[in-house]
Chains A and B, each alone.
Chain A
Amino acid sequence: MSYPIDYTNQPVIEIEDLYKSFGDNHVLKGFNLKVWPGENVAIMGKSGSGKSVLIKCIIGLVNIDRGSLKVLNQSVPDLSQKDLDSLRCDVGFQFQGSALYDSMTVRENLEFPLRRHPSKLGTDYNPEHLIQEALEDVGLLHAIDMMPSELSGGMKKRIALARTLILRPKIILYDEPTSGLDPVTGKEISMLINEIQKRYHTASLIITHDLSCAKVTSNRMIILHEGKNYVESTYDKLSVSEDPPVRAFFT
């Protein structure tokens, strides 16, 4: 990972002292995070540690209990629905299970985000051109008229990525982008994440259990443990750590 990270500007995601509970289950207990423009941050943690909840809070799908959560310098909990929708144009979200609309073709899946936000791409944009470009980016132009049920797991992940890219987001949130894939396809997806960052200069937050994905994609890694940032460093440094909770991920 050697793409330029812009530390001079405001962070694109800034979280301070974030708390989130579901009843008696205290998931996030004072989590902090800063993601800079052009940076890829991988978050690892045990199942149920609150990684997916964290990125759902960032995109406004889950309301936070307390703390400060700013995305592109806008406080997400304070946004109106209209402003939140507008912010969501700049923040792509790739779901763990791809979440393709299974009653629509690949083309219709990619058209769907465009229908509500035509103004974001200017007045003279060509939807067909954008769809083809996004599919070319993920190497699946031939699948344009296929239904999601006809696609393999890896293809679904790529199409979901193409759908995320179509609105040209500044930040992409990946929820376990390589889960359920064989190592080869997983590696292809990891490489694709890097290529996309290089081409569109996006910042990314990658939730993963996959060490090889974290190694290939991340500039910085955070271990989420007991609702807090347990440790934060590069992959190379964490991989030689002797700390038992960190070692547990690398052995």
Chain B
Amino acid sequence: MKKLSKFFLMVGQMSRFAGRYFKEVLFPPYEFQELLKQCYFIGNKSFNLVAITGLIMGIVITLQTRPTLVEFGAVSWMPSMIGVAIVREIGPVITALICAGKIGSGIGAELASMKVTEQIDAMEVSGTNPFKYLVITRVTATTVMIPILILIADLISLCGSALVEMLKGGVTFQLYFSLVFEYLHFGDLIPSFIKSFFFGFAIGIVGCYMGYTSTKGTEGVGRTANEAVVISSMLVFIIDFIAVLVSDIFYEL
């Protein structure tokens, strides 16, 4: 019972924290320089990890699926099936989970360590609003950069899949991608792109909230990083579930 009330208290506080983001994001002073720096760190520094994971994801899914499709004589469906699966579901979710691990924990640990060493207080004392400088920039950067990383991961993943098909089935890249895009519609791409913004926002806000409200000194830094990953990963699945339900309603219309 105590754990449950603690959980709901955290949900409430996190919602208020997110509300404060929306309240303050539109009003000056704007920290553009810090925002660009965060976009660079979040986007550029996560690129290699996302690219490698995306490539392996495409290769593995194709290799695993191929024997079954060959058995049923449906190997020609491979590009369309992999295309839809990666763009609609696997690409965004896997990339968001990777970002939750790398970016969410990084933000959580960084802010928690700043709190422990009184750097956040020092910022406030110097007349800078630490919420604007630290939270708004990081949450905005994750909201903008994670959808871009997801698009890149999708593309690289399809390239990995095309590579397997080229080596195993003699299908050219051109043919592979024309088959992918023949079955891939804007109706697949748009919901997936929209939900990736929510993934980015959730990862940023959870990391910032956990770091900004961290307690228990240096011990709390590790715990914060861990909790940021766990909660943001869970939120990715919840957002995905809601997004699938909502987009399903639109498909049926």
Q: A interface vs B, CB < 8 Å?
A: 56, 59, 61, 85-86, 88-89, 93, 95-97, 99-103, 112-113, 115-117, 163, 167
Query: A95-B118, A99-B122, A100-B122 known; 5 other A-B pairs, CB under 8 Å?
Result: A85-B127, A93-B125, A95-B122, A102-B117, A167-B126
B119 contacts the other chain (Cβ, under 8 Å)? yes
B182 contacts the other chain (Cβ, under 8 Å)? no
B12-40 interface code vs A (CB 8 A; 1 in, 0 out)? 00000000000000000100000000000
Q: Which residues of A contact B128 (CB under 8 A)?
A: 112-113, 115-116
Q: B interface vs A, CB < 8 Å?
A: 29, 110, 114, 117-119, 121-128
Query: Contact: A112 with B118, CB < 8 Å?
Result: no
Q: Which of B29, B122, B125, B127 is close to A101, meaning CB atoms less than 8 Å apart?
A: B122
Nearest CB in chain B: distance from A61 CB, A = 6
Query: Contact: A88 with B127, CB < 8 Å?
Result: yes
Distance between Cα atoms of A96 and B29 in the complex (Å): 29
Nearest CB in chain B: distance from A221 CB, A = 25
Query: Contact: A99 with B126, CB < 8 Å?
Result: no
A-B interface pairs (CB < 8 A), number: 47
Nearest CB in chain B: distance from A232 CB, A = 27
Q: Which residues of A contact B117 (CB under 8 A)?
A: 97, 99, 102
Distance between Cα atoms of A74 and B118 in the complex (Å): 25
Query: Contact: B126 with A61, CB < 8 Å?
Result: no
Closest B residue to A109 by beta carbon equals B122
Query: Contact: B118 with A97, CB < 8 Å?
Result: yes
Closest A residue to B113 by beta carbon equals A102
Can you list 11 A-B pairs, Cβ within 8 angstroms, ordered by A? A88-B126, A88-B127, A89-B127, A97-B117, A99-B121, A101-B114, A112-B123, A112-B126, A116-B127, A116-B128, A167-B126
Query: Contact: B124 with A113, CB < 8 Å?
Result: no
Q: Which residues of B contact A100 (CB under 8 A)?
A: 119, 122
Nearest CB in chain A: distance from B216 CB, A = 15
Q: Which residues of A contact B127 (CB under 8 A)?
A: 85-86, 88-89, 113, 116-117
Query: Contact: A61 with B125, CB < 8 Å?
Result: yes
Q: Which residues of A contact B122 (CB under 8 A)?
A: 93, 95, 99-101
Query: Contact: B119 with A61, CB < 8 Å?
Result: no
Q: Which residues of B contact A99 (CB under 8 A)?
A: 117-119, 121-122
Nearest CB in chain B: distance from A176 CB, A = 12
Nearest CB in chain B: distance from A130 CB, A = 14
Distance between Cα atoms of A103 and B114 in the complex (Å): 10
Nearest CB in chain B: distance from A158 CB, A = 15
Q: Which of B29, B110, B121 is close to A61, meaning CB atoms less than 8 Å apart?
A: B121
Distance between Cα atoms of A99 and B122 in the complex (Å): 6
Q: Which residues of B contact A59 (CB under 8 A)?
A: 125
Q: Counting chain A CB atoms within 10 Å of each CB, which of B29, B117, B123 scores highest? A: B117
Closest A residue to B122 by beta carbon equals A99
Distance between Cα atoms of A101 and B113 in the complex (Å): 11
Q: Counting chain B CB atoms within 10 Å of each CB, which of A59, A93, A99, A112 scores highest? A: A99
Nearest 8 A-B pairs (CB), nearest first?
A: A99-B122, A113-B126, A85-B127, A99-B118, A93-B125, A116-B127, A95-B118, A88-B127
Query: Contact: B121 with A116, CB < 8 Å?
Result: no
Q: Which residues of B contact A101 (CB under 8 A)?
A: 114, 119, 122-123
Query: Contact: B121 with A102, CB < 8 Å?
Result: no
Closest B residue to A104 by beta carbon equals B119
Q: Which of A88, A96, A97 is close to B125, meaning CB atoms less than 8 Å apart?
A: A88
Query: Contact: B126 with A102, CB < 8 Å?
Result: no
Q: Which residues of A contact B118 (CB under 8 A)?
A: 95-97, 99
Distance between Cα atoms of A97 and B113 in the complex (Å): 13
Q: Which residues of A contact B29 (CB under 8 A)?
A: 116
Closest B residue to A87 by beta carbon equals B127
Closest A residue to B121 by beta carbon equals A61
Query: Contact: B125 with A116, CB < 8 Å?
Result: no
Closest A residue to B126 by beta carbon equals A113
Nearest CB in chain B: distance from A111 CB, A = 11
